[in-house]
Amino acid sequence: MALPFELAVGLRYTRAGRRGRRKDGFMSFISGISVASIALGVMALIIVLSVMNGFQKEVRDRMLSVLSHAEVYNLAGSVGNWQDTLGTLKVAESRIVAGAPFVSGQALLSAGAGVQGAMVRGIDPAAEPSVSEIPSAVRMGSVDNLKAGSFGIILGRDLARQLRVGPGDKVTLIVSKGNVTPAGFVPRMKQMTVMGLIDSGHYEFDSTLCVMNVTDAATLFRTGGATGIRLKLSDMNEAPAVVRSIRQHLPSGWYATDWTMQNRTWFAAVQVEKTMMSIILFLIVLVGAFGLVSTLVMTVTEKQSDIAILRTLGASPGSIMRIFMIQGSIVGFTGVAVGVSLGLLIACNLDVIVPFIEGILGVEFLPKEIYFISSMPSDPRASDIVPIAVLSFAMSLIATLYPSWRAARTRPAEALSYEYVRY
């Protein structure tokens, strides 16, 4: 089947220079540079966004090892019978899988001469495994050792290192809800036994978190029982929608939050960084688009006589415009296709490429002693790749408009007379 007239001529101009004149060869070189610029920009965008997505996913997973998908709590105090409340929430929202009671508060931990602030979380050792990964993150101990009335405590690894304590050692827990005496306000203090260490891989939690039995925490903070319920959802990405839904079924004085709200600042910062990096790297694609404009303008100038002959043979200005738009779109599509292919190839094999480069150079890009994520994670997402490819190709098409319009305005008589004078 014969190709359309405009497509055949556009393909011929795109391949020019492989076995043609010197000027055609130069234009073919410029066209190759345009393809390389577009491919480089697209490849860089895919790799950078994939790495940023990988770091975001890695940090999120480590956060959720100690955080729950969602939480509901009573601002006034105890939640009462938390099983009944959980049952009501499950009926109202089918995406809730499990729940567990908790008590949350702040305290000071003292051991020897060391004093550190800590976030205290009271948990139910039997129900906690169904909503978080805290039990699996415990080292040198187990949450099953947190018996009610034993006043045992499990510390974050970095918090224990700061206090210079380990399993079996004693620490003093100081809470602000103390007693008023004739001598003034006296905070409540309780000696606790370290039952284990938590190693979540996230320094923010490992340096501040301490866990105890929910009954012991309620006694120390005088809450009268659990103050909230931690929820596990069927899909953690739907947490904001689930929270909005269950808020309509909560009684007065209750509040619900999710893991995205608890870490809103961090996720907002990551999103801003992704946006700015996308804008910066799109400038590379823009450079390739400007190179495409130059290539097409040079092609139109060089092909004045060809355009004039085509016009005299009956080609309309619209056909001439489509010829050069096809040429530009082929260059743009080639650049985008090459960029997407190389970007995905590199992004999906960073776990092999980065160690190989580190071995050759003898350096370590992410030392384990400094960074808690020592590998180069990568998470290519179609939601990022498709817009990159579409926008880059659209920029290439836009870049073809002016040269194509200029070619369509060529006057056959003037072009042929100029060619006659030149030769």
Rounded mean pLDDT of the chain?
79
pLDDT in tens, 308-334: 777 777 777 777 788 778 878 888 888
Rounded alpha-carbon distances, angstroms, from residue 342 to 33, 251, 337, 348, 391:
16, 54, 9, 10, 18
pLDDT in tens, 109-120: 888 778 888 888
What 3-state DSSP class applies to 254? Answer: strand
**Smallest Cα–Cα separation from 138: which of 211, 78, 79, 83?**
211
Q: In the chain, where are the structural domains located?
A: 5-61+266-422, 68-262
- Banded model confidence at residue 416, pLDDT cuts 50, 70, 90: low
Q: Which of 65-74, 216-225, 262-271 has the lowest mean pLDDT?
A: 262-271
- Banded model confidence at residue 44, pLDDT cuts 50, 70, 90: confident
**Smallest Cα–Cα separation from 291: which of 31, 40, 42, 43?**
31
pLDDT in tens, 206-254: 888 889 998 888 888 888 888 888 888 888 878 888 888 888 878 777 8
- Banded model confidence at residue 420, pLDDT cuts 50, 70, 90: very low
Confidence (pLDDT) at 15: 63
Q: Is residue 71 scored above 70 in pLDDT? A: yes
**Smallest Cα–Cα separation from 139: which of 216, 76, 194?**
194
> Mean pLDDT throughout 2-9?
67
